[in-house]
Amino acid sequence: MIEQAQGVSQAGQTVGLRVPVLLKINTNAVLGGFSRFGVLSGEPALNLAKKLRQLPGIEFVGIYAHELSEDKTAEGVDKMAFETASLMTETARMLREEGIPIAHVSVGASSAARSTCHYIREGKFPEITEIHPGSFAIGDIMYMR
């Protein structure tokens, strides 16, 4: 993964900018869902974030995950949303405890948008700064149930 970041850093340096970068966290690999690329949460994410911060053409700004539950029931999706938010919150705290400032903690997927919004309205996971709802936001009939 660092190879791609080195290319982005080089491009940023070429044009005299620091490119804002978020680190993709593969929470699904930990939780048993569909593996969607990225680095594992916790220590692996911390180690890669430290490397990213050393690249001169990159500004490390946060982490994001795109969860996808294999269990399509309401309970399964709700559980995946909660567990993803938990892993992302733990990872964000770990990074901050190591002195790595992060502005963005982003989670979500079409199937999990409703559950994630519910948890945030309840005051859970205040560290989450963004939800990316996917096609749920435009009324995709698959998510209207």
pLDDT of residue 76: 85
Prediction pTM value = 0.85
Q: Which residue has the tokens 């999990």?
A: 112
Q: Does the pLDDT of residue 61 top 90, yes or no?
A: yes
Indicate whether 87 pLDDT > 60.
Answer: yes
Mean pLDDT of 105-110: 87
The number of residues in the chain equals 145
- Rounded Cα–Cα distance for residues 144 and 126 (Å): 26
Mean pLDDT for all residues in the chain: 87
Burial 117-135 (b: 16+ CB within 10 A, else e): eebeeeeebeebeebbbbe
In this predicted structure, what is the pLDDT of residue 137? 59
User: What is the 8-class DSSP label of residue 40?
Assistant: P
pLDDT given for residue 110 in this prediction: 76
* Identity at 44, one-letter amino acid code: P
Is residue 132 pLDDT above 60, yes or no?
yes
Is 3.20.20.10 the CATH number for 2-143? yes
Residues 95 and 49: beta-carbon distance below 8 Å: yes
Nearest-angstrom CA–CA distance, 52 and 48: 6
